[in-house]
């Protein structure tokens, strides 16, 4: 199945999750994340800001800020199709931006060097057990990740229904190292 059809099929399945399930599964996934050494030892974490029926990351961001973690969030620049990261000091610094996703208000944009990130929470529509993913089609994350050191831990957060055996890959695709769902933790390096 090509990326476009796979994306459509999984988005359709995900859209059928109830609000209650999304909240419950997101909590379960967050708890698993908080127990991981990668999270515990990370000083600076990059997190996507969830929207619609994605796994909710708002609480992960707020809790991490409360725990003294430095949180950086993505800012997409559609004209150049690049992604930069900005440090977030408080959740109230966000407003609705491109694609109806929360993004830092202009006065709170604090660009930071991506090479100072210890852990990246990666979104996706479909994840394969080997860590490759199908995103929303913009290629922002693959371009961003390709410029980082391979040692930076990349964790995909997804509902179990978003996991498949294989996804179509291209030479520029960058896999995640671990995927956390409400049912399991997948170590992609072992696949």
Q: Kindly report, residue by residue over 153-164, the tens digit of the pLDDT.
A: 999 999 999 999
Name the pLDDT band for 62 (thresholds 50, 70, 90): very high
Q: Is residue 190 part of a domain?
A: no
Q: What is the pLDDT of residue 156?
A: 98
Q: Is residue 147 part of a domain?
A: yes
CA-closest candidate to residue 133, choices 123, 120, 146, 118: 123
Number of structural domains (the chain) is 1
Q: Is residue 110 part of a domain?
A: yes
Q: What is the pLDDT of residue 118?
A: 96
With a pLDDT cut of 70, the percent of the chain lying above it is 99
Taking the complete model, does pTM exceed 0.85, yes or no? yes
Q: Is residue 28 part of a domain?
A: yes
Provide the greatest CA pair distance for the chain: 44
Supply the range of the domain harboring residue 109.
3-183
Q: Is residue 175 part of a domain?
A: yes
- Choice among 95-104, 152-161, 177-186 with the minimum mean pLDDT: 95-104
Residue 79 in this model has a pLDDT that exceeds 90: no
Tokens for 152? Answer: 């930076």
With a pLDDT cut of 90, the percent of the chain lying above it is 85
Q: What is the pLDDT of residue 128?
A: 97
Q: Is residue 162 part of a domain?
A: yes
Instruction: Name the burial class of residue 95, with classes exposed (0-12), middle (13-18) and buried (19+) by CB atoms within 10 angstroms of its CB.
Output: exposed
Is 145 within 8 Å of 113 (Cβ atoms)? no
Instruction: Say which CATH number the domain at 39 has.
Output: 3.40.50.10420
Paired sense of beta strands 178-180 and 133-134, if any: unpaired
As a whole number of angstroms, the distance between CA 23 and CA 126 comes to 19
């Amino acid at each position: 199945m090509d990326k476009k059809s796979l994306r459509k099929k999984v988005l359709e399945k995900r859209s059928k999750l109830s609000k209650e399930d999304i909240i419950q599964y997101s909590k379960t996934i967050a708890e698993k994340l908080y127990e991981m050494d990668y999270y515990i030892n990370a000083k600076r974490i990059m997190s996507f800001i969830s929207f619609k029926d994605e796994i909710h990351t708002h609480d992960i961001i707020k809790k991490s800020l409360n725990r003294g973690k430095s949180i950086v969030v993505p800012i997409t620049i559609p004209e150049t199709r690049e992604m930069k990261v900005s440090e977030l000091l408080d959740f109230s610094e966000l407003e609705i931006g491109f694609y109806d996703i929360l993004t830092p208000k202009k006065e709170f944009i604090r660009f930071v060097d991506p090479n100072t990130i210890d852990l990246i929470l990666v979104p996706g529509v479909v994840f394969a057990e080997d860590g490759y993913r199908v995103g929303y089609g913009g290629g922002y994350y693959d371009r961003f990740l390709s410029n980082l050191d391979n040692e930076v831990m990349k964790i995909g957060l997804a509902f179990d229904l978003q996991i498949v055996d294989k996804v179509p890959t291209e030479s520029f695709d960058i896999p995640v190292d671990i995927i956390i769902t409400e049912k399991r933790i997948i170590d992609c390096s072992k696949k």
